Structure 1
Protein backbone atom coordinates (compact mmCIF):
# COMPACT_ATOMS: atom_id res chain seq x y z
CA UNK A 1 0.00 0.00 0.00
CA UNK A 2 2.87 2.41 0.82
CA UNK A 3 4.44 1.76 -2.57
CA UNK A 4 1.19 2.58 -4.35
CA UNK A 5 0.87 5.89 -2.48
CA UNK A 6 4.49 6.76 -3.23
CA UNK A 7 3.99 6.02 -6.90
CA UNK A 8 0.82 8.15 -7.00
CA UNK A 9 2.56 11.14 -5.41
CA UNK A 10 5.48 10.87 -7.85
CA UNK A 11 3.11 10.76 -10.84
CA UNK A 12 1.21 13.80 -9.57
CA UNK A 13 4.42 15.76 -9.10
CA UNK A 14 5.56 14.83 -12.62
CA UNK A 15 2.25 16.01 -14.10
CA UNK A 16 2.39 19.32 -12.24
CA UNK A 17 5.93 19.90 -13.49
CA UNK A 18 4.84 19.38 -17.09
CA UNK A 19 2.09 22.05 -16.90
CA UNK A 20 4.44 25.08 -17.22
CA UNK A 21 6.20 23.52 -20.20
CA UNK A 22 2.87 22.84 -21.89
CA UNK A 23 1.70 26.38 -21.12
CA UNK A 24 4.89 27.76 -22.66
CA UNK A 25 4.27 25.76 -25.82
CA UNK A 26 0.71 27.08 -26.03
CA UNK A 27 1.64 30.75 -25.36
CA UNK A 28 0.11 33.38 -27.76
CA UNK A 29 2.43 35.55 -29.83
CA UNK A 30 0.50 38.65 -31.05
CA UNK A 31 0.99 39.72 -34.66
CA UNK A 32 2.87 43.02 -35.31
CA UNK A 33 0.77 46.17 -35.05
CA UNK A 34 -0.51 47.57 -38.34
CA UNK A 35 1.02 51.00 -39.02
CA UNK A 36 -1.58 53.78 -39.15
CA UNK A 37 -1.83 55.71 -42.41
CA UNK A 38 0.09 59.00 -42.54
CA UNK A 39 -1.79 62.30 -42.08
CA UNK A 40 -2.43 64.99 -44.66
CA UNK A 41 0.60 66.72 -46.19
CA UNK A 42 0.81 69.85 -48.33
CA UNK A 43 3.75 68.45 -50.31
CA UNK A 44 3.15 68.00 -54.03
CA UNK A 45 2.21 69.73 -57.30
CA UNK A 46 -1.20 71.34 -57.88
CA UNK A 47 -3.33 73.14 -60.49
CA UNK A 48 -6.36 75.38 -60.07
CA UNK A 49 -8.75 78.02 -61.42
CA UNK A 50 -9.07 81.66 -60.28
CA UNK A 51 -12.00 84.08 -60.19
CA UNK A 52 -11.27 87.61 -58.97
CA UNK A 53 -12.01 91.33 -59.00
CA UNK A 54 -9.42 94.05 -59.48
CA UNK A 55 -8.95 97.79 -59.00
CA UNK A 56 -6.27 99.50 -61.11
CA UNK A 57 -4.71 102.97 -60.96
CA UNK A 58 -3.24 104.34 -64.20
CA UNK A 59 -1.01 107.15 -62.93
CA UNK A 60 -0.39 109.51 -65.86
CA UNK A 61 3.00 111.23 -65.40
CA UNK A 62 2.44 114.35 -67.52
CA UNK A 63 3.41 117.83 -66.33
CA UNK A 64 0.78 119.50 -68.54
CA UNK A 65 -2.18 117.27 -67.70
CA UNK A 66 -1.42 114.81 -64.87
CA UNK A 67 -4.21 112.43 -63.98
CA UNK A 68 -4.91 109.16 -62.19
CA UNK A 69 -7.74 107.39 -64.00
CA UNK A 70 -9.01 104.31 -62.20
CA UNK A 71 -10.37 101.08 -63.62
CA UNK A 72 -12.09 98.05 -62.13
CA UNK A 73 -13.56 94.77 -63.26
CA UNK A 74 -13.42 91.00 -63.19
CA UNK A 75 -10.59 88.54 -63.77
CA UNK A 76 -10.50 84.83 -64.56
CA UNK A 77 -7.45 82.62 -64.81
CA UNK A 78 -5.45 79.55 -63.86
CA UNK A 79 -2.67 78.85 -61.37
CA UNK A 80 -0.25 76.06 -60.59
CA UNK A 81 2.75 75.31 -58.44
CA UNK A 82 4.49 73.02 -56.00
CA UNK A 83 4.45 72.94 -52.18
CA UNK A 84 6.94 71.30 -49.86
CA UNK A 85 5.87 70.61 -46.28
CA UNK A 86 8.97 71.05 -44.09
CA UNK A 87 7.24 69.85 -40.94
CA UNK A 88 6.75 71.92 -37.78
CA UNK A 89 3.83 73.61 -39.61
CA UNK A 90 6.09 75.31 -42.19
CA UNK A 91 5.24 75.03 -45.90
CA UNK A 92 7.32 76.54 -48.73
CA UNK A 93 6.48 76.62 -52.42
CA UNK A 94 6.58 78.30 -55.80
CA UNK A 95 3.55 79.32 -57.85
CA UNK A 96 2.63 80.95 -61.15
CA UNK A 97 -0.66 82.25 -62.56
CA UNK A 98 -2.08 83.76 -65.74
CA UNK A 99 -5.30 85.79 -65.90
CA UNK A 100 -7.57 87.39 -68.50
CA UNK A 101 -8.69 90.81 -67.22
CA UNK A 102 -11.67 93.00 -68.02
CA UNK A 103 -10.59 95.93 -65.84
CA UNK A 104 -11.79 99.17 -67.49
CA UNK A 105 -12.05 102.88 -66.73
CA UNK A 106 -12.51 106.28 -68.36
CA UNK A 107 -9.75 108.80 -68.99
CA UNK A 108 -10.72 112.46 -69.28
CA UNK A 109 -13.52 113.36 -71.70
CA UNK A 110 -12.41 111.21 -74.64
CA UNK A 111 -10.12 108.52 -73.29
CA UNK A 112 -10.18 105.12 -71.65
CA UNK A 113 -7.83 102.73 -69.87
CA UNK A 114 -7.95 98.96 -69.68
CA UNK A 115 -5.97 96.14 -68.08
CA UNK A 116 -6.19 93.22 -70.52
CA UNK A 117 -4.25 90.43 -68.82
CA UNK A 118 -1.70 89.75 -66.08
CA UNK A 119 0.52 87.02 -64.74
CA UNK A 120 2.87 86.39 -61.83
CA UNK A 121 5.64 84.03 -60.75
CA UNK A 122 5.97 83.97 -56.97
CA UNK A 123 7.37 82.23 -53.94
CA UNK A 124 5.05 81.20 -51.10
CA UNK A 125 5.70 80.73 -47.39
CA UNK A 126 2.93 79.33 -45.23
CA UNK A 127 2.10 78.23 -41.70
CA UNK A 128 -0.27 75.29 -41.58
CA UNK A 129 -2.83 74.35 -38.97
CA UNK A 130 -3.33 70.84 -40.31
CA UNK A 131 -5.63 71.20 -43.30
CA UNK A 132 -5.72 75.03 -43.16
CA UNK A 133 -2.75 77.20 -44.16
CA UNK A 134 -2.15 80.95 -43.90
CA UNK A 135 0.52 82.20 -46.30
CA UNK A 136 2.35 85.16 -47.74
CA UNK A 137 3.50 85.40 -51.34
CA UNK A 138 5.65 87.66 -53.52
CA UNK A 139 7.58 87.78 -56.77
CA UNK A 140 7.59 89.12 -60.32
CA UNK A 141 4.53 90.35 -62.24
CA UNK A 142 3.65 91.30 -65.81
CA UNK A 143 0.52 92.87 -67.32
CA UNK A 144 -0.82 94.05 -70.68
CA UNK A 145 -2.73 97.36 -70.80
CA UNK A 146 -4.35 99.72 -73.31
CA UNK A 147 -4.65 103.51 -73.13
CA UNK A 148 -6.88 105.40 -75.58
CA UNK A 149 -6.72 109.20 -75.86
CA UNK A 150 -7.24 111.79 -78.57
CA UNK A 151 -8.12 109.16 -81.16
CA UNK A 152 -4.92 107.19 -80.45
CA UNK A 153 -4.88 103.74 -78.89
CA UNK A 154 -1.65 102.18 -77.57
CA UNK A 155 -1.01 98.72 -76.14
CA UNK A 156 1.91 98.11 -73.79
CA UNK A 157 3.39 95.45 -71.55
CA UNK A 158 4.25 96.43 -67.97
CA UNK A 159 6.79 94.56 -65.81
CA UNK A 160 6.90 94.81 -62.03
CA UNK A 161 6.43 93.00 -58.74
CA UNK A 162 3.66 91.72 -56.50
CA UNK A 163 3.04 90.99 -52.80
CA UNK A 164 0.06 89.28 -51.24
CA UNK A 165 -1.39 87.06 -48.54
CA UNK A 166 -4.11 84.46 -48.30
CA UNK A 167 -5.60 81.44 -46.61
CA UNK A 168 -6.02 77.98 -48.15
CA UNK A 169 -7.92 74.93 -46.91
CA UNK A 170 -7.77 71.27 -47.96
CA UNK A 171 -11.42 70.29 -48.46
CA UNK A 172 -10.30 66.72 -49.20
CA UNK A 173 -6.86 65.13 -49.59
CA UNK A 174 -6.81 66.43 -53.18
CA UNK A 175 -9.23 69.39 -53.45
CA UNK A 176 -8.25 72.79 -52.00
CA UNK A 177 -9.97 76.17 -51.80
CA UNK A 178 -8.37 79.58 -51.23
CA UNK A 179 -9.04 83.29 -50.76
CA UNK A 180 -6.22 85.71 -51.56
CA UNK A 181 -5.31 89.40 -51.84
CA UNK A 182 -2.53 90.67 -54.10
CA UNK A 183 -1.04 94.12 -54.68
CA UNK A 184 1.02 94.61 -57.84
CA UNK A 185 3.16 97.50 -59.10
CA UNK A 186 3.66 96.98 -62.83
CA UNK A 187 5.94 99.95 -63.41
CA UNK A 188 5.81 102.67 -66.06
CA UNK A 189 5.39 102.63 -69.84
CA UNK A 190 5.02 105.31 -72.55
CA UNK A 191 1.68 105.69 -74.35
CA UNK A 192 1.13 107.85 -77.41
CA UNK A 193 -1.84 110.20 -76.99
CA UNK A 194 -1.46 112.47 -80.02
CA UNK A 195 0.47 112.87 -83.29
CA UNK A 196 3.52 114.30 -81.50
CA UNK A 197 2.65 113.76 -77.84
CA UNK A 198 2.63 110.95 -75.33
CA UNK A 199 2.39 110.24 -71.64
CA UNK A 200 4.19 107.97 -69.22
CA UNK A 201 1.68 105.81 -67.33
CA UNK A 202 2.43 103.92 -64.12
CA UNK A 203 0.13 100.95 -63.46
CA UNK A 204 -0.62 99.38 -60.07
CA UNK A 205 -3.46 97.08 -59.05
CA UNK A 206 -5.20 95.51 -56.08
CA UNK A 207 -6.95 92.18 -56.59
CA UNK A 208 -9.13 89.97 -54.41
CA UNK A 209 -9.54 86.49 -55.81
CA UNK A 210 -10.81 83.04 -54.94
CA UNK A 211 -9.49 79.76 -56.27
CA UNK A 212 -10.22 76.04 -56.31
CA UNK A 213 -7.35 73.64 -56.93
CA UNK A 214 -6.45 69.98 -57.26
CA UNK A 215 -3.38 68.63 -55.44
CA UNK A 216 -1.80 65.62 -57.12
Structure 2
Protein backbone atom coordinates (compact mmCIF):
# COMPACT_ATOMS: atom_id res chain seq x y z
CA UNK A 1 0.00 0.00 0.00
CA UNK A 2 2.83 2.40 0.89
CA UNK A 3 4.50 1.71 -2.46
CA UNK A 4 1.33 2.60 -4.38
CA UNK A 5 0.99 5.88 -2.47
CA UNK A 6 4.61 6.79 -3.27
CA UNK A 7 4.15 5.91 -6.96
CA UNK A 8 1.00 8.04 -7.20
CA UNK A 9 2.76 10.97 -5.54
CA UNK A 10 5.67 10.69 -8.01
CA UNK A 11 3.32 10.67 -11.01
CA UNK A 12 1.50 13.74 -9.67
CA UNK A 13 4.84 15.58 -9.21
CA UNK A 14 5.91 14.75 -12.75
CA UNK A 15 2.57 15.92 -14.15
CA UNK A 16 2.78 19.22 -12.25
CA UNK A 17 6.48 19.88 -13.02
CA UNK A 18 6.42 19.03 -16.71
CA UNK A 19 5.07 22.46 -17.86
CA UNK A 20 7.72 24.27 -15.80
CA UNK A 21 10.52 22.13 -17.20
CA UNK A 22 9.12 22.60 -20.72
CA UNK A 23 9.04 26.37 -20.30
CA UNK A 24 12.64 26.43 -19.02
CA UNK A 25 13.78 24.26 -21.91
CA UNK A 26 12.04 26.53 -24.42
CA UNK A 27 14.02 29.50 -23.08
CA UNK A 28 17.25 27.66 -23.92
CA UNK A 29 16.28 27.29 -27.58
CA UNK A 30 17.65 30.04 -29.89
CA UNK A 31 14.93 32.35 -31.24
CA UNK A 32 13.88 31.88 -34.84
CA UNK A 33 14.97 34.83 -37.04
CA UNK A 34 12.89 35.56 -40.11
CA UNK A 35 14.26 36.91 -43.37
CA UNK A 36 12.72 40.31 -42.59
CA UNK A 37 15.35 40.82 -39.89
CA UNK A 38 18.06 40.84 -42.57
CA UNK A 39 16.66 43.56 -44.83
CA UNK A 40 19.53 45.92 -45.84
CA UNK A 41 19.60 49.36 -44.25
CA UNK A 42 18.36 52.29 -46.36
CA UNK A 43 21.16 54.21 -48.08
CA UNK A 44 20.69 57.95 -48.53
CA UNK A 45 23.26 58.02 -51.33
CA UNK A 46 22.27 55.35 -53.86
CA UNK A 47 20.81 56.76 -57.09
CA UNK A 48 20.79 59.66 -59.52
CA UNK A 49 20.63 63.37 -58.73
CA UNK A 50 20.39 66.62 -60.69
CA UNK A 51 20.65 70.19 -59.46
CA UNK A 52 21.69 73.82 -59.88
CA UNK A 53 24.63 75.67 -58.35
CA UNK A 54 26.35 79.01 -57.97
CA UNK A 55 30.13 79.42 -57.72
CA UNK A 56 32.80 81.87 -56.67
CA UNK A 57 35.87 81.63 -58.94
CA UNK A 58 39.42 82.77 -58.34
CA UNK A 59 41.28 82.81 -61.67
CA UNK A 60 44.90 83.35 -62.57
CA UNK A 61 46.78 83.08 -65.83
CA UNK A 62 50.41 83.26 -66.90
CA UNK A 63 50.27 85.19 -70.18
CA UNK A 64 53.18 85.34 -72.60
CA UNK A 65 52.96 87.88 -75.46
CA UNK A 66 54.21 91.32 -76.44
CA UNK A 67 50.95 92.96 -75.34
CA UNK A 68 51.33 92.27 -71.61
CA UNK A 69 55.12 92.39 -71.47
CA UNK A 70 57.73 93.78 -73.83
CA UNK A 71 60.90 91.74 -74.42
CA UNK A 72 62.86 90.45 -72.64
CA UNK A 73 60.18 90.20 -69.90
CA UNK A 74 57.69 88.11 -71.87
CA UNK A 75 55.39 86.86 -69.10
CA UNK A 76 52.74 88.54 -66.98
CA UNK A 77 50.59 86.97 -64.22
CA UNK A 78 46.98 88.13 -64.39
CA UNK A 79 44.31 87.45 -61.75
CA UNK A 80 40.56 87.68 -61.51
CA UNK A 81 37.69 86.88 -59.13
CA UNK A 82 34.32 86.17 -60.68
CA UNK A 83 31.34 83.89 -60.47
CA UNK A 84 29.31 81.34 -62.38
CA UNK A 85 25.91 79.67 -62.46
CA UNK A 86 25.27 76.20 -63.76
CA UNK A 87 23.80 72.74 -63.45
CA UNK A 88 25.21 69.45 -62.23
CA UNK A 89 24.16 65.81 -62.20
CA UNK A 90 25.53 62.49 -61.09
CA UNK A 91 25.08 58.98 -59.78
CA UNK A 92 26.29 57.32 -56.57
CA UNK A 93 26.39 53.82 -55.15
CA UNK A 94 27.10 52.97 -51.52
CA UNK A 95 29.40 49.94 -51.54
CA UNK A 96 29.81 49.60 -47.75
CA UNK A 97 29.18 51.45 -44.50
CA UNK A 98 32.27 53.57 -45.12
CA UNK A 99 32.61 53.84 -48.92
CA UNK A 100 30.43 55.61 -51.52
CA UNK A 101 31.53 55.66 -55.17
CA UNK A 102 30.08 57.97 -57.80
CA UNK A 103 30.45 60.03 -60.96
CA UNK A 104 29.59 63.72 -61.22
CA UNK A 105 29.37 66.22 -64.10
CA UNK A 106 28.68 69.94 -64.40
CA UNK A 107 28.21 72.75 -66.95
CA UNK A 108 28.56 76.42 -66.00
CA UNK A 109 28.12 79.84 -67.57
CA UNK A 110 31.06 81.84 -66.20
CA UNK A 111 31.40 85.59 -65.60
CA UNK A 112 35.06 86.54 -65.14
CA UNK A 113 37.24 89.29 -66.53
CA UNK A 114 41.02 89.50 -66.60
CA UNK A 115 42.31 93.04 -66.44
CA UNK A 116 45.62 94.44 -67.66
CA UNK A 117 46.47 98.13 -67.12
CA UNK A 118 42.87 98.69 -66.03
CA UNK A 119 41.43 97.37 -69.27
CA UNK A 120 39.50 94.20 -70.09
CA UNK A 121 42.04 91.63 -71.26
CA UNK A 122 39.82 88.55 -71.60
CA UNK A 123 37.71 86.04 -69.72
CA UNK A 124 36.68 82.47 -69.12
CA UNK A 125 33.27 82.14 -70.78
CA UNK A 126 32.10 78.66 -69.80
CA UNK A 127 33.43 75.49 -68.27
CA UNK A 128 32.40 71.88 -67.88
CA UNK A 129 33.82 68.95 -65.94
CA UNK A 130 33.47 65.22 -65.38
CA UNK A 131 34.85 63.68 -62.18
CA UNK A 132 34.83 60.58 -60.00
CA UNK A 133 33.72 61.00 -56.37
CA UNK A 134 34.99 58.92 -53.47
CA UNK A 135 32.90 59.48 -50.35
CA UNK A 136 32.76 58.60 -46.66
CA UNK A 137 29.43 58.94 -44.77
CA UNK A 138 30.20 60.93 -41.61
CA UNK A 139 26.50 60.71 -40.65
CA UNK A 140 23.41 59.01 -42.06
CA UNK A 141 22.63 62.12 -44.14
CA UNK A 142 26.08 63.75 -44.50
CA UNK A 143 28.73 62.63 -47.00
CA UNK A 144 32.31 63.93 -47.11
CA UNK A 145 34.09 63.21 -50.39
CA UNK A 146 37.05 63.86 -52.61
CA UNK A 147 36.95 64.24 -56.38
CA UNK A 148 39.33 63.75 -59.27
CA UNK A 149 38.40 64.59 -62.84
CA UNK A 150 38.95 66.61 -65.98
CA UNK A 151 37.63 70.06 -66.88
CA UNK A 152 37.32 72.02 -70.12
CA UNK A 153 37.02 75.80 -70.36
CA UNK A 154 36.45 78.31 -73.15
CA UNK A 155 38.77 81.33 -72.94
CA UNK A 156 38.31 84.54 -74.94
CA UNK A 157 41.31 86.88 -74.95
CA UNK A 158 40.05 88.96 -77.91
CA UNK A 159 39.62 92.18 -75.88
CA UNK A 160 43.33 92.20 -75.11
CA UNK A 161 44.89 90.39 -78.06
CA UNK A 162 42.52 91.12 -80.92
CA UNK A 163 39.83 89.16 -82.72
CA UNK A 164 40.19 85.41 -83.00
CA UNK A 165 42.17 85.00 -79.78
CA UNK A 166 39.83 82.31 -78.44
CA UNK A 167 40.65 78.75 -77.43
CA UNK A 168 39.30 75.80 -75.47
CA UNK A 169 41.63 74.33 -72.86
CA UNK A 170 41.40 71.19 -70.74
CA UNK A 171 43.08 70.18 -67.52
CA UNK A 172 42.99 67.93 -64.49
CA UNK A 173 40.82 68.85 -61.53
CA UNK A 174 41.02 67.93 -57.84
CA UNK A 175 38.45 68.72 -55.16
CA UNK A 176 36.87 68.21 -51.75
CA UNK A 177 33.25 68.56 -50.70
CA UNK A 178 30.37 67.81 -48.35
CA UNK A 179 26.82 66.88 -49.40
CA UNK A 180 23.86 66.70 -47.01
CA UNK A 181 20.43 65.16 -47.51
CA UNK A 182 18.06 67.83 -46.16
CA UNK A 183 15.10 65.55 -46.87
CA UNK A 184 14.83 62.15 -48.51
CA UNK A 185 14.97 63.82 -51.94
CA UNK A 186 16.60 67.25 -51.46
CA UNK A 187 20.40 67.40 -51.30
CA UNK A 188 22.50 70.46 -50.38
CA UNK A 189 26.07 70.73 -51.66
CA UNK A 190 29.23 72.64 -50.77
CA UNK A 191 32.53 71.83 -52.47
CA UNK A 192 35.76 73.30 -53.79
CA UNK A 193 38.02 72.38 -56.70
CA UNK A 194 41.34 73.40 -58.20
CA UNK A 195 41.93 73.08 -61.95
CA UNK A 196 45.04 73.63 -64.05
CA UNK A 197 44.41 74.06 -67.79
CA UNK A 198 48.01 73.66 -68.95
CA UNK A 199 50.05 75.84 -71.29
CA UNK A 200 48.03 76.70 -74.40
CA UNK A 201 49.01 78.33 -77.68
CA UNK A 202 46.77 81.33 -78.32
CA UNK A 203 45.60 81.70 -81.94
CA UNK A 204 47.27 84.58 -83.75
CA UNK A 205 50.91 85.68 -83.93
CA UNK A 206 53.48 83.08 -82.93
CA UNK A 207 54.84 83.04 -79.40
CA UNK A 208 51.60 83.81 -77.54
CA UNK A 209 50.74 81.36 -74.77
CA UNK A 210 48.25 81.26 -71.94
CA UNK A 211 48.45 79.09 -68.80
CA UNK A 212 45.19 79.53 -66.84
CA UNK A 213 44.13 77.87 -63.60
CA UNK A 214 41.38 78.46 -61.07
CA UNK A 215 40.05 77.65 -57.61
CA UNK A 216 36.27 77.37 -57.33
CA UNK A 217 33.88 77.22 -54.35
CA UNK A 218 30.38 75.93 -55.19
CA UNK A 219 27.06 75.81 -53.35
CA UNK A 220 24.05 74.04 -54.80
CA UNK A 221 20.78 72.19 -54.34
CA UNK A 222 19.80 68.96 -56.07
CA UNK A 223 16.87 66.60 -56.39
CA UNK A 224 17.78 62.96 -55.72
CA UNK A 225 15.72 60.30 -57.47
TM-score by length of 1: 0.77
- Name the residue aligned to 1:154: 165
Deviates further, 108-117 or 136-145: 108-117
- The yes-or-no answer on 1:207 pairing with 2:216 is yes
Q: Deviations over 1:68-88 (max 9, x none)?
A: 111221100011110001122
Matches within 5 A, 1:1-216: 38-62=41-65, 64-108=73-117, 112-128=121-137, 129-147=139-157, 148-149=159-160, 151-152=162-163, 154-192=165-203, 196=205, 198-216=207-225
Q: Provide the secondary structure at the position in 2 that maps to 1:187.
A: coil
Look up the match of 2:7.
none
CA deviation digits over 1:2-59, x for unaligned, max 9? xxxxxxxxxxxxxxxxxx9xxxxxxxxxxx8987895343110110111011011111
Distance verdict in 2 for CA 1:41–1:151, change over 3 Å: closer
Aligned residues: 187
RMSD over aligned CA atoms reads 2.6
- Classify 1:51/1:198 alpha carbon distance in 2 versus 1 (closer, same or farther; 3 Å): same
The structure with more radius of gyration: 1
Shift of the alpha carbon at 1:168?
0.6
Cα displacement string for residues 146-175 of structure 1 (whole angstroms, at most 9, x for unaligned residues): 113254451110011100001110001111
> By percentage of residues, which structure has more helix?
2
Q: Distance in 2 between matches of 1:37 and 1:64?
A: 65
Contact 2:48 2:90 in 1 (8 A): yes
- Shift of the 151–87 alpha-carbon distance from structure 1 to 2, 3 Å rule, reads closer
Aligned counterparts of 1:84 and 1:212: Cα–Cα separation in 2 = 19
Report the 3-state secondary structure (helix = DSSP H, G, I; strand = E; otherwise coil) of the residue aligned with 1:149: helix
- Higher strand fraction: Structure 1 or Structure 2? 1
Report if the CA contact (8 A) 1:141-1:184 is conserved. yes
Distance between the aligned counterparts of 1:202 and 1:153, measured in 2?
18
Q: Give me the whole-angstrom Cα distance separating, in 2, the residues matched to 1:111 and 1:150.
A: 10
Distance 1:100 1:108 in 2: 26
Quote how far apart the aligned CAs of 1:90 are. 1.1
- Go from structure 1 to structure 2 and tell me whether the alpha carbon gap of 1:126 and 1:150 turns closer, same or farther (over 3 Å shift): closer
- Over 3 Å counting, the alpha-carbon distance change for 1:109 and 1:41 in structure 2 is closer
Change in 2 beyond 3 A, CA 1:37/1:61? same
Moved more, 148-157 or 205-214: 148-157
Gapped regions of structure 2 (runs ≥ 5): 1-18, 20-33, 66-71
Query: 1: distance between equivalents of 2:163 and 2:35?
Result: 76
1:122 offset after TM fit, Å?
0.3
